[in-house]
Amino acid sequence: MSKKLTYQTLFDAVSGTGAAFRSVTKLQPVGQTGDRVFPATYKEGKYATEKRRLRGDDGNLGAAVDCVLLNSVPSEANHAEEALLEAVRRERIHLPLIEVDFSGVNGELTKPLPNLTSLEVPHRLADAILRDSALADGTRFEKSTYAADWRKANLWNATPIYNLCPTALLFGLWGSPEKPGGLGAKFERAFVSEIVAVDTDPVADRFGFRIDPLSASSQVMLKKNEAGFEIVDPKTKGGGEAVGD
């Protein structure tokens, strides 16, 4: 039976024996119930498929059904971070946020960079973009008092990271100022979410690819010249090599 999540429920859980909160939301495609969806593809253009046993209304597990992953745990975390950042920028919430300002060096870069925050960089607080940046007074971040406090954090005392970047504890963090690349303290993600298509009937053949109007082939023989490349006569070869897209 579902129970409304309130502050008192959360307080009782964390001060008692609660291990996790689980929420299941049933979604349908925008088109209509049971309409076709297009899952994310992975290596070699394959879908992430698996079988799952679902719990029925009576609470019992049923037979295993075919399922397809639509949005993975890491992707869901990234979307949650983007939503939090948007809420911060709209001043709907307030969070400790580390931001790297590239405006002072953009004139020296081929392509200007926008400011990046701890909610956008790949490795959150432990990302090299943050670690190798400098404070306004010129102090490197990894040599700052912020990093010094961060070094004191461990699984039994996460308060320094909570004060500096609480979302890193929510979405997971591997690393420390002096031990990048996941060699420092490791904090497992506390937020896990995914979107899965249940009881699927996958289409065997995929259609609809746009046809190349030039009918270009990856096996066309090309030879580099002063102007770039030229097509090589396949009868003579001419030292060319096939160049793909």
* Residues 179 and 220 both lie in one domain: no
Those residues with Cβ within 8 angstroms of residue 45's Cβ, 6 or more apart along the chain or in another chain: none
* Residues 92 and 145 both lie in one domain: yes
* Residues 29 and 45 both lie in one domain: yes
Q: Answer with the residue of higher pLDDT: 135 or 245.
A: 135
Mean pLDDT of 200-216: 66
**7 SS3 class:** helix
Cα–chain-centroid distance for residue 86?
16
Query: Rounded to whole angstroms, how far apart are CA atoms 212 and 225?
Result: 25
* Residues 183 and 77 both lie in one domain: yes
pLDDT band of 94, cuts 50, 70, 90: very high
* Residues 182 and 97 both lie in one domain: yes
Domain assignment of residue 138, yes or no: yes
Cα–Cα separations (whole angstroms), residue 39 to 71, 148, 198, 201, 240: 8, 44, 12, 12, 39
- In this prediction the pTM is 0.72
What pLDDT, on the 0 to 100 scale, is given for residue 41?
A: 85
* Residues 183 and 129 both lie in one domain: yes
Mean pLDDT of 187-211: 80
Domain assignment of residue 236, yes or no: yes
* Residues 91 and 107 both lie in one domain: yes
Mean pLDDT of 181-201: 84
* Residues 160 and 94 both lie in one domain: yes
Q: For residue 221, what are the domain limits?
A: 213-245
Mean pLDDT, the chain, rounded, equals 83
Which pLDDT tens digit goes with each residue over 51-85?
A: 988 887 787 888 899 999 999 999 999 999 999 99
What pLDDT, on the 0 to 100 scale, is given for residue 20?
A: 85
Residue 241, pLDDT above cutoff 60: no
* Residues 227 and 173 both lie in one domain: no
* Residues 79 and 135 both lie in one domain: yes
Amino acid symbol at 33: T
Lowest mean pLDDT among 26-40, 86-100, 200-214: 200-214
